[in-house]
Chains A and B, each alone.
Chain A
Amino acid sequence: MSEFAVLLVPLFAATLLSLIADYRLSAKINIGASGLSLLAALLLLVDRPVPGRYIAVDDLNIVFILLNTFVGATTSAFSASYIGHEIEIGRLTPNYLRFYHAMFQLMLFGMNLALLANNIGLMWVAVELATLTTVVMVGIYRTHEAIEAAWKYFILGSVGIALALFGTILVYLAARPVVGEGTDAMVWTVLITRARDFDPALLNIAFIFLLLGYGTKVGLAPMHAWLPDAHAEGPTPISAVLSGLLLNVALYALLRFKMLLAANPNAIAPGPLMIALGLISLIFAAFMLYRRRDIKRMFAYSSIEHMGITVFAFGMAGPLGNFAGLLQMTMHSLTKSAIFFSVGHVAQVKGTQRIAEMGGLTATHPLLGWGLIAGVAAIAGLPPFGVFTSEFLLISSTFAREPLLATLFVFGLLVSFGALFLRVSSVAFGEPRGPTGPVTASYLPMFAHLALVLIAGIWLPGPLVAWFQHVARMLG
């Protein structure tokens, strides 16, 4: 039953929140509902339902669901302290917040549905729902920039999603002669067992469309244009879930289809395509990091970079590559949302997102400043943190197989490393610049995430390693 709780709790909460006018109360309900979803997701670990025609839980998606509900819960806690300030300065009104909270839960519902779906049509619908809710939230400030960002996101996202649907239809066409007409030809658990008899040429073309379509939503270069604007102009809790969760959901959809292709011996190998797109995203984003003047925009480019790394890892495949990809994805979600939690409060204190107008944070706001430094150290892949583990694994396994690719990969990492520290050192150290007023921040979500990343870097629990190894073998 818990698989339905994961869906029904956010759906019910969204309805409830759209009726409540008091924003303090609805922020609390938002936290409560996200916490309940997390509990329901944890229950999935012990009570695994039998796969149905529409909903299924397996070892792969449960990783994503746990991550999704966990970051959803911590973000709603961060959001409660974030919006208090936005109300104070009048950027948002209570009416807008009612809408915001309802949309937040609806988005979590959409993402959970996409992850649980056992039907590729249903998965598509859910990804579209999650996209539409985030579009509205990106535009919620209604400034010129926010409207342009939301419009761009909407147009590019819709084109991507339309291409993904076309790909989904082609997969159905490939499956129909083998599986037979009707719902079964879209049920993933049926597809994967029969995939070896599908027409390989149709599957190939379908995968190209799916890669372009869902790849747009993953934020892969050159289809990434919506991503920096959407991250920079929306409310910061939304930037955190965009980077931490929505990109993962699109990546999950891509992985499902990759498994389908891998199960067919005559289809093209999806690896090289994913490696190429991943490397392009990594190197492009690494160079773009240098010219950023807006702090949220900079971390958005860092998300493109990390999604590139993750897609590269899944493209390299093999037990090691997939393991590194899973770990990298999890660590990036946790670290990047922690960074956005910190950046959100920093931008509120300074009243701007311009890097040039911030400085000396470690002196004026030590907790925020050092939190930001720790987050950036983690995301840049410095040793005690979990991202280092996954990147090290990936580099060492790639060097053994493809030295040239590994060299390009390391080059991209080093370039982005330099850019991140160049920019962040001017924000964290030196003379204090900009307003230095007090901040009412909730530090718990940020430090909880960073602590998890730190622990994962020092010691990965045995059962978790075994689990990830098992999923990595599933991914082929």
Chain B
Amino acid sequence: MTHGVAFDVAHMLAGGLVLASFALLYQDRLYALINVLALHALILAVSVAWQAYIQDAPHLYITAALALGFKAIVIPMALRRMVFRLGIHREIETVVGIGLTMLAGIALVALSLMVMLPVTAQADPVAREDVALALSVVLIGLLIMVTRRNAVSQVAGFLSLENGVNLAATGAKGMPLVVEISVAFSILIAFIVIGIFLFRIRERFDTVDLEVLDQFRGERR
């Protein structure tokens, strides 16, 4: 079976997103983490733009532009500022060691390929690979959220997870416009909410380490 260049580029970009997810997984400094997060969003933007081109679906360029402007530029800047203001540019505390997390990440990629590829056999090859790789990005995003204790890096995990869902949505050819815009929009809302919370957390605790929050569990009063 031969594929055209359209497939190859889409495949490469989706693979690049998985690679960036792995890079997120082993960062141990917050600034570096934020840089990789920006790269993650950048790859997504290029990938979405490529999908817009090969599917001849101009509305997808809006999604690409949102990913580029909002997720690759605005949010990383805001996060960097937050880290600077809070003075938390120290190392990230992880729950499990880096090596073990990487192994778990590899296992998750294998799992998603094994689950998705046989199932989507009838779909067209671009959508098929995109959905399988998107699932890997989603699962690695979950892994980041589970293995990090710091609120900023949990947000990074969540954003990479959203990027994975975006990749799947744009890979599914002809998916209605409503969804893409709303996805981007909901990320915006979500971020405002996170912003409010981080602000409140800083006001009350002078730290965004969730370990500290855990001390205030409802029933240990």
Interface residues of A, Cβ cutoff 8 Å to B: 119, 121-122, 124-125, 128-129, 132, 135-136, 139, 142, 144-145, 147-151, 154-155, 158-159, 162-163, 165-166, 168-170, 172-173, 176-177, 181-183, 185-186, 199, 201-202, 204-205, 228-229, 232-233, 292-294, 297, 354
Q: Is the CB of B218 within 8 A of A177?
A: no
Q: List 20 A-B contacts (CB under 8 A).
A: A119-B178, A136-B196, A139-B197, A145-B218, A148-B217, A151-B197, A155-B145, A159-B145, A166-B165, A169-B172, A176-B174, A181-B174, A183-B178, A202-B119, A202-B120, A204-B119, A205-B115, A228-B218, A294-B219, A297-B218
Q: Report the minimal beta-carbon distance from A295 to chain B, rounded to whole angstroms.
A: 12
Closest 5 CB pairs of A and B: A181-B174, A144-B216, A121-B179, A201-B119, A125-B182
Q: Is the CB of B204 within 8 A of A181?
A: no
Q: Is the CB of B193 within 8 A of A136?
A: yes
Question: For the complex, what is the distance from the CA of A297 to the CA of B189, rounded to whole Å?
Answer: 29
Residues of B within 8 A of A163 (CB): 138
Per the 8 Å Cβ criterion, residues 179-221 of B in contact with A are: 179, 182-183, 186, 189-190, 193-194, 196-197, 200-201, 204-205, 210, 213-214, 216-219, 221
Residues of A within 8 A of B125 (CB): none
* Nearest chain A residue, comparing its CB with the CB of B177: A183
Q: Is B118 an interface residue (CB 8 A)?
A: yes
Partner of A147, one of B127, B161, B193, B204: B204
Q: Is the CB of A172 within 8 A of B135?
A: no
Chain A residues touching B, majority SS = helix
Interface residues of B, Cβ cutoff 8 Å to A: 115-116, 118-120, 122-123, 127, 131, 134-135, 138, 142, 145, 151, 154, 158, 161-162, 165, 168-169, 172-176, 178-179, 182-183, 186, 189-190, 193-194, 196-197, 200-201, 204-205, 210, 213-214, 216-219, 221
Question: For the complex, what is the distance from the CA of A135 to the CA of B151, rounded to whole Å?
Answer: 16
Residues of B within 8 A of A297 (CB): 218-219
Residues of B within 8 A of A186 (CB): 175-176, 179
Contact A177:B190 (CB < 8 A) given known A151-B197, A154-B197: no
Q: Report the minimal beta-carbon distance from A166 to chain B, rounded to whole angstroms.
A: 6
Residues of A within 8 A of B169 (CB): 165, 169
Residues of B within 8 A of A229 (CB): 218
Q: Is the CB of B172 within 8 A of A176?
A: yes
Partner of A205, one of B116, B182, B194, B200: B116
Contact A162:B138 (CB < 8 A) given known A142-B204, A177-B122, A232-B218: yes
Contact A128:B186 (CB < 8 A) given known A159-B158, A159-B161, A297-B218: yes
Known: A166-B168, A181-B173. 16 other contacts (CB 8 A): A125-B178, A129-B189, A132-B193, A136-B196, A139-B197, A147-B197, A154-B197, A159-B158, A162-B158, A163-B138, A169-B175, A173-B131, A176-B172, A186-B176, A205-B115, A228-B218
Residues of B within 8 A of A173 (CB): 120, 123, 127, 131, 172
Chain B CB within 10 A, most for which of A163, A169, A186, A205: A169
Residues of A within 8 A of B178 (CB): 119, 121-122, 125, 183
Question: For the complex, what is the distance from the CA of A147 to the CA of B198, rounded to whole Å?
Answer: 10
Partner of B176, one of A121, A136, A292: A121
* Nearest chain B residue, comparing its CB with the CB of A158: B158
Q: Is the CB of A139 within 8 A of B172?
A: no
Residues of A within 8 A of B218 (CB): 145, 148-149, 228-229, 232-233, 294, 297
Partner of A148, one of B161, B168, B216: B216
Residues of B within 8 A of A232 (CB): 218
Q: Is the CB of A145 within 8 A of B176?
A: no
Q: Is the CB of A142 within 8 A of B138?
A: no
Question: For the complex, what is the distance from the CA of A123 to the CA of B122, rounded to whole Å?
Answer: 27
Q: Is the CB of B127 within 8 A of A162?
A: no
Residues of A within 8 A of B119 (CB): 199, 201-202, 204-205
Question: For the complex, what is the distance from the CA of A173 to the CA of B161, rounded to whole Å?
Answer: 20
Question: For the complex, what is the distance from the CA of A119 to the CA of B172, rounded to whole Å?
Answer: 17
Partner of A144, one of B172, B189, B204, B219: B204
Q: Is the CB of B172 within 8 A of A166?
A: no
Q: Is the CB of A158 within 8 A of B190?
A: yes
Q: Report the minimal beta-carbon distance from B53 to chain A, rounded to whole angstroms.
A: 17
Q: Report the minimal beta-carbon distance from A182 to chain B, rounded to whole angstroms.
A: 5
Question: For the complex, what is the distance from the CA of A205 to the CA of B123, rounded to whole Å?
Answer: 15
Partner of B186, one of A119, A125, A185: A125
Question: For the complex, what is the distance from the CA of A122 to the CA of B217, rounded to whole Å?
Answer: 35
Residues of B within 8 A of A294 (CB): 218-219
Question: For the complex, what is the distance from the CA of A155 to the CA of B119, rounded to whole Å?
Answer: 30
Question: For the complex, what is the distance from the CA of A69 to the CA of B192, rounded to whole Å?
Answer: 28
Residues of B within 8 A of A292 (CB): 219
Q: Is the CB of A162 within 8 A of B161?
A: yes
Contact A142:B172 (CB < 8 A) given known A121-B182, A162-B165: no
Q: Report the minimal beta-carbon distance from B182 to chain A, rounded to whole angstroms.
A: 4
Question: For the complex, what is the distance from the CA of A293 to the CA of B217, rounded to whole Å?
Answer: 13
Q: Is the CB of A183 within 8 A of B176?
A: yes
Residues of A within 8 A of B138 (CB): 162-163, 166
Q: Report the minimal beta-carbon distance from B131 to chain A, rounded to whole angstroms.
A: 7
Q: Is the CB of B213 within 8 A of A151?
A: yes
Contact A176:B115 (CB < 8 A) given known A154-B193, A166-B135: no
Q: Is the CB of A165 within 8 A of B216?
A: no
* Nearest chain A residue, comparing its CB with the CB of B201: A147
Question: For the complex, what is the distance from the CA of A204 to the CA of B197, rounded to whole Å?
Answer: 37
* Nearest chain B residue, comparing its CB with the CB of A292: B219
Partner of A293, one of B135, B189, B213, B219: B219
